[in-house]
Amino acid sequence: MKIKDISKFKNVDRQESLKSSGVRQGIANKQLDECVPRLETANSETVYPGQNNSFIILGRDRPTNLFSGYGGKGAHQSGRVDIIAGLASSYRHPDGTYSPPNEDTIVNLNFATEAARLYISQKADIDDYMGLAEGASRQIKGLSTIALKADTLRMHSRYDIKIVTGRGKFEGLGEEGERLSSGQENEVPGTISFIAGNYTEEDSTAKFSILKSKVSSRGSKRKLQPVPKGDNLSQFLEEILDKMNELVSMVDQNTMSISKLNSSMTLHTHIGATGPVSPPLTHLPYCGQIIKGVLGNKKDKITLSKNLQLMKINYLNPNFGSDYINSKFVFTT
């Protein structure tokens, strides 16, 4: 990456002259000549420009041109604080290159082309402004927002970080508690969505069968899915393993009974039999054990089946499950 780029500077000859003389080269954070575009401002805005393409703007909600946002609609209660570093940073020039234009070019605000932006608004449709994919809840409309956008974002806490949705715990605010900035009731917690790639449309799926050479079925599933809750998932898996052990015990009991019967039948011989022969008395205890085991296993299997159905309700049903394994408010791709 170039440390110096004067290719789009208005007066290249002057810039080269300053460069050769060592004047205004920015070393040790001294003054530096570089391309800075001219921002189109509204007459209701107070703008504090820096010398190096940075701005603080106080005005009304405006993500881009003068007619955008709630400020463009003439809405009340839509104040905004806008902090920008690198206005039109990825501006596309006629020659196909990308860099900030010089002061001869008037540009508007644009989340897509600014290098970094902190947007604080009293009322905004922030998901639309930033071109964000739909999350687990509806797209945000007309609510206050603090939005950050840059090539990279970092949050570093030396102790801990909390990401919280819903009402704060305050006293003296009545039964409804903390309200939204518009004064509306804040009845349910909002969702938290972790979206990698800014894509939440459904994914197509294909299932293959070992016995078939072609795809056995096609379908789709949600891209944005709820995050499992560790304790509930752990408890669910533990109960599954317990039920599997019960099944193993049933199968083992049947196997042992059948093995005893097979051994008895193998050792038994018929001498001089001329017609149908009844089972020898030596087999009767084993037959009785098998019948008793089958009847006992049948009762156990009915109980096991009911327990498995209850596990499905408790752990896998989002509407009735007391220990539903997924979060109802945190989602990820």
**pLDDT of the residue at 274:** 59
Q: Which of 17-26, 71-80, 150-159, 309-318 has the lowest mean pLDDT?
A: 17-26
Whether the pLDDT of residue 296 is over 70: the answer is no
Q: Tell me the C-alpha distance between 65 and 40, whole Å.
A: 8
Query: What band does 6 get if pLDDT is binned at 50, 70 and 90?
Result: low
Q: Which residue has the higher pLDDT, 253 or 148?
A: 148
Supply the mean pLDDT for the chain: 84
When pLDDT is averaged across residues 106-123 and rounded to a whole number, the result is 97
pLDDT in tens, 136-145: 887 789 999 9
CA–CA distance, 322 with 333 (Å, rounded to integer):
25
pTM value is 0.76
> What percent of the chain shows pLDDT beyond 90?
49
